[in-house]
Amino acid sequence: MFKLTPYLKKYKKECIIGPVFKFMEAILELLLPTIMAMIINNGVARRDTGYVLRLGGLMVVLALFGYGCSVVCQYSAARASQGFGTDLRNAFFDRVLSFSYLQLDRFGASTLTNRITNDINQLQQLVAMMIRLLIRWPFICIGSIVMSFMMDAQVALIMLVFTPVLAVIIYLVSKTAAPLYRSYQKKLDGLVSTLREHLSGIRVIRAFSKEKQETGRFSRANDSLTDDGLAIGRISSLYNPLTSLVVNAMIVVILWVGDIHIRAGRLGEGQIIAFIQYANQILTSLLFMSNLVILITKSMASAERINEVMDTVPDMLSPSAPASQSMFAPAIEFRDVSFGYSKTGELALENINITINKGETVGIIGGTGSGKSTFVNLIARFYDATSGSVLVNGVPVSQYPITQLRKQIAVVPQRALLFTGTVAENIRWGNTDASIADVKKAASIAQADEFIEHLPGQYGFNVERGGANLSGGQRQRLAIARAVAAGPEILILDDASSALDFLTDANLRRAVRENSRGKTVLFVSQRVGTVKNADRIIVFEDGRIAGTGTHAELFGSCGTYREICLSQLSDEEARR
Ligand SMILES: Nc1ncnc2c1ncn2[C@@H]1O[C@H](COP(=O)(O)OP(=O)(O)OP(=O)(O)O)[C@@H](O)[C@H]1O
Ligand SMILES: [Mg+2]
């Protein structure tokens, strides 16, 4: 948890001022019962109204002053904790952005979302509470005992005996609760991830009438969370009555011993009332301290979860010096590349050797799961090859600063993702300098200009989150326009036109080819029609290259390719 204290550095002032003012308030609070005892013993007993009014006035002044102190402290605590939370959230977000795909896959989006919201909130609350409570309540607890000793050692001894009993109860409770909090957070992650899956898949769930099963799955995750919450509740519910019992026992003993002292004339009634007030203050302080202990325990679980992310070193290092590329090297080269998504699992790509020259238009085809997307992801270095090397312009991709590499390569992923904003903003996303003419040009290459003209507001049309207010094909075309507008040297369309009709798909391919002279273009598809006219076709099968060549060459020599062709085209079309 202490690892996170650097985020408090900027708020050092608040972290000092807050507790100091709270401390002053606590001193005043400790004085009140003693003044009360003096009023009762000296004022009320002797019917001295002047004395009562004078000391009563003093109490009011002290209380007002204490209130002022409390306000200052509260304000400092709010400033420090809010600032701390904001800074930590920013740092957390930056760290997550630096993760490789593999690391993001490993954490998963729901736990990261939970950590940046729930867990950081928890820590933020802790900072506020520490400033407000950490010094105040131990001081009041010890101070109450000391003040009691100053009044009468024998009665005070009673408090000294009972206080450790209370402390032990508090310790035991927090110790049993700690693992439960950890498990609770983990289950919350599970619940959120189930919920995410449900919300994004709600159409499919309805289409297959699976509501019942899915509701069951959600309830199970929910119930399991509730169980942990209840267990925590049960422990806490034991605990309040238990502490009250001990404190009330203490008060009974104080009254009993006090009575003996009063009869003997050694103590006044005022002191007994003061003792009881101090006893209550001890209870309150222990209660607050125990809440603080619970909060600390909870926060420790949260801090662990935050640190786990903050301590994860991005495994994809990006050198800062720009790579010096060779003009004459091939655009893309795979040298004996193998790749598996997990260290132990199956390989998604195996011993890939291929060279793609500058200016070439290459079609990539293969059955689903054959490794096409994986191949493409390695070029843009979304993942690092497990063995072998991937070169772009003669330089291994790992030697490029990531930004330099990604500037040269634009990938349109299989699932087009758009952002909230206007159509123009979405197209400009990869190249903020693009003029409106550039945007329109990119849209026309992507065959998107026509439908955009028909949208209300045209290029100013507001795209909703994820492109929810556009059709699948419209989304794909906008994503292609975005990649084209970025003006990359290597343009990769990963099954990016799958939702387009054949004619639009053909127009798109023609426009892309005409407008990317000297550039390298990769069309990934399961459709023969999409790759047929490429300069060269690469056929993938089970993570290996089954053949490369033109359509005619492959149709003659590659069994896999011929099979794909004949399954989609008529015999005559395939031979053309
Ligand atoms: N993020 C991932 N984590 C783990 N395994 C993955 C991941 N992505 C793909 N795979 C696995 O890698 C293999 C190759 O997948 P890939 O996405 O490259 O296929 P593809 O040829 O693009 O298929 P499609 O035509 O359906 O898009 C598959 O067996 C798949 O299960
Ligand atoms: Mg794919």
The CATH number of residue 253's host domain is: 1.20.1560.10
- R_g (Cα) of the chain, nearest Å: 36
Nearest CA to ligand 1 atom 9: 374
Nearest CA to ligand 1 atom 25: 368
Domain for residue 510, yes or no?
A: yes
What is the bridge-based pairing of β-strands 349-356 and 332-339?
antiparallel
Ligand 1 pocket member 414 (CB < 6 A): yes
Domain for residue 553, yes or no?
A: yes
CA of 64 relative to ligand 1 center, distance in Å: 69
Does 146 share its domain with 264? yes
Ligand 1 pocket member 340 (CB < 6 A): no
The domain tally of the chain equals: 2
Does 82 share its domain with 204? yes
Ligand 1 pocket member 348 (CB < 6 A): yes
Domain for residue 335, yes or no?
A: no
Does 271 share its domain with 373? no
Reading the chain (576 residues) residue by residue, the pLDDT tens digits are: 677 888 888 888 888 898 899 889 888 888 888 888 888 888 877 888 888 888 889 889 988 998 999 999 999 999 999 999 999 999 999 999 888 888 888 888 878 888 898 889 989 999 998 888 888 888 888 888 888 888 888 888 888 888 888 778 877 877 787 778 778 877 887 887 788 777 777 777 777 777 788 888 888 888 888 888 888 888 877 777 887 788 888 888 888 888 888 888 887 778 888 888 888 888 788 778 877 877 887 788 888 889 999 988 888 777 777 777 777 878 788 988 888 887 777 888 888 888 888 888 898 988 888 888 899 989 988 888 888 888 888 888 888 888 888 888 888 888 878 888 888 888 888 777 878 888 788 888 888 888 888 878 888 888 788 777 888 888 888 888 888 888 788 889 888 777 777 888 888 888 888 887 788 889 888 888 788 888 898 988 888 888 888 887 878 787 788 888 777 777 666 666
Ligand 1 pocket member 548 (CB < 6 A): no
Does 229 share its domain with 102? yes
Mutate to test the pocket of ligand 1, among 101, 370, 384 (most ligand atoms within 8 A of CB): 370
Does 405 share its domain with 465? yes
Which among 193, 197, 189 is positioned nearest to 228, based on CA atoms?
189
Does 463 share its domain with 407? yes
Domain for residue 447, yes or no?
A: yes
Domain for residue 330, yes or no?
A: no
Which among 541, 544, 542, 576 is positioned nearest to 561, based on CA atoms?
541
Ligand 1 pocket member 413 (CB < 6 A): no
CA of 568 relative to ligand 2 center, distance in Å: 19
| Domain that residue 129 falls in | 2-310
Does 290 share its domain with 426? no
Which among 477, 487, 356 is positioned nearest to 410, based on CA atoms?
487
Does 545 share its domain with 414? yes
Does 140 share its domain with 249? yes
Cα gap 277→413, rounded to integer Å? 70
Does 298 share its domain with 411? no
Domain for residue 482, yes or no?
A: yes
Ligand 1 pocket member 103 (CB < 6 A): no
Nearest ligand to the C-alpha atom of residue 375? 1
Domain for residue 179, yes or no?
A: yes
Ligand 1 pocket member 343 (CB < 6 A): no
Ligand 1 pocket member 6 (CB < 6 A): no
**What CATH number is associated with residue 431?**
3.40.50.300
**Domain-ending residue, one of 280, 310, 340:** 310
Ligand 1 pocket member 308 (CB < 6 A): no
CA of 214 relative to ligand 2 center, distance in Å: 28
CA of 60 relative to ligand 1 center, distance in Å: 74
Does 443 share its domain with 306? no
Does 110 share its domain with 239? yes
Instruction: Find the Cα–Cα–Cα–Cα dihedral 436, 438, 442, 443, rounded to 10°.
Output: 20
**Domain-ending residue, one of 279, 310, 341:** 310
Phi and psi at 339, nearest 5°, equal: -150, 135
**Domain-ending residue, one of 290, 310, 330:** 310
Phi and psi at 51, nearest 5°, equal: -60, -45
Contact 520, 359 (CB under 8 A): yes
Ligand 1 atom at minimum distance from 371 CA: 18
Domain for residue 437, yes or no?
A: yes
